[in-house]
Amino acid sequence: MDDGLPLKPDTGWGTEVRRLMKDPGCDFDHAFAKVMARYLNQGDTRPLFDLVQRAKKEPEEPALRFLAKMFNLLPQASSSDVEIQYRFGFEPFRAKRGRPGPVEATKAKAAGIVFSVLLNGVAKMAEGQKPGPIFWQYLFNAFDQTQRGSTTQSDFPVSAKLVRIDGSRGRRIDPELATRDKVLASFVEQHIKEGRGYDSSIKETRDELRRIARDEGWQGKVGEKTIKDAYDTRPKKMG
């Protein structure tokens, strides 16, 4: 596993990306794009936010084209053959009934500026180009506005959330846990194939995760019991 990657090593998406990078010809950008798309198709923004908001790194072309499809702001952004299950939904600031005052007028103007930045960013992503830091900051602010709720509605003029394409509702499935367990099991299985025993393979997987966490400045949170459970409950076809 490569050190120095911008994703947390103690998350399902971080370990999955590292595992995919072991496949021939699969670099970080393509591995991240696959993982990010799978999470977003289950309504989960965490891999994207981890990369851009925490690690301060913009995705590359494979991920950018997928993201562009999730915005219904431009026709060219929705003409791709990429299959998506969710889209980004936005709501501008809405003034209370009655004649808008100066504050409401200012908010409406600010919302227009935000949408202009988003439009320009989506157009760039549709061409495989990075939209720039202001685009991401506005996107995160809009999501943060939704999470904090209406009590702070005046903070940012636009709110955002992921909306299912088919319009269905209900609690989404957490894609991280199953992925994490599958990846952990594959690590153990690989060590066993290399000739190590069961206990030794468990410990080597734990130590490997800790080394990555140390090198990348993160405290490892995956213990031996978690690794054992992941391997012991793996699908039989894994080994």
Task: Give residue-wise pLDDT tens across range 77-130.
Answer: 554 556 788 999 998 876 556 566 677 788 888 999 999 999 999 999 999 999
pLDDT at 154 over 60: no
Residues 6+ apart with CB under 8 A from 166: 85
Q: Specify whether 74 is located in the same domain as 160.
A: yes
226 inside domain: yes
Which string of b and e fits 144-163 if b means at least 16 CB within 10 Å?
ebbeeeeeeeeebbbbbbbe
Q: Specify whether 140 is located in the same domain as 83.
A: yes
Q: Specify whether 129 is located in the same domain as 52.
A: yes
pLDDT at 74: 52
Encoded amino acid at 126, one letter: A
Of the residues 164, 188, 222, the one at which a domain ends: 164
Q: What spatial distance separates the first Cα and last Cα of the chain, rounded to whole Å? A: 21
pLDDT at 97: 61
Of the residues 118, 140, 164, the one at which a domain ends: 164
Q: Specify whether 56 is located in the same domain as 155.
A: yes
pLDDT at 219: 61
Q: Specify whether 75 is located in the same domain as 157.
A: yes
Please give the tally of structural domains in the chain. 2
pLDDT at 10: 75
pLDDT at 186: 86
pLDDT at 1 over 70: no
Q: Specify whether 214 is located in the same domain as 132.
A: no
R_g over Cα of the chain: 21
Encoded amino acid at 63, one letter: A
Mean pLDDT in the chain? 83
Q: Specify whether 67 is located in the same domain as 153.
A: yes
Least confident of 7-16, 57-66, 141-150, 194-203: 141-150
| Helices 102-126 and 133-148, axial angle in degrees (round to 10) | 130
pLDDT at 65: 92
Between the ranges 29-33, 71-75, 153-157, where is the mean pLDDT highest?
Answer: 29-33
Do the Cβ atoms of 63 and 36 come closer than 8 Å? yes
Parent domain of 138: 45-164
Q: Specify whether 153 is located in the same domain as 222.
A: no
Q: Specify whether 49 is located in the same domain as 160.
A: yes
**Residue 147 pLDDT level (bands cut at 50, 70, 90):** low
Q: Specify whether 127 is located in the same domain as 102.
A: yes
Q: Specify whether 57 is located in the same domain as 105.
A: yes
204 inside domain: yes
Q: Specify whether 152 is located in the same domain as 193.
A: no
170 inside domain: no
**Residue 210 pLDDT level (bands cut at 50, 70, 90):** confident
- Interstrand relation of 158-164 and 86-92 (parallel, antiparallel or unpaired): antiparallel
pLDDT (tens digit, 9 = 90+) per residue, 17-64? 988 998 999 999 999 999 999 999 989 999 999 999 999 999 999 999
DSSP 71: B
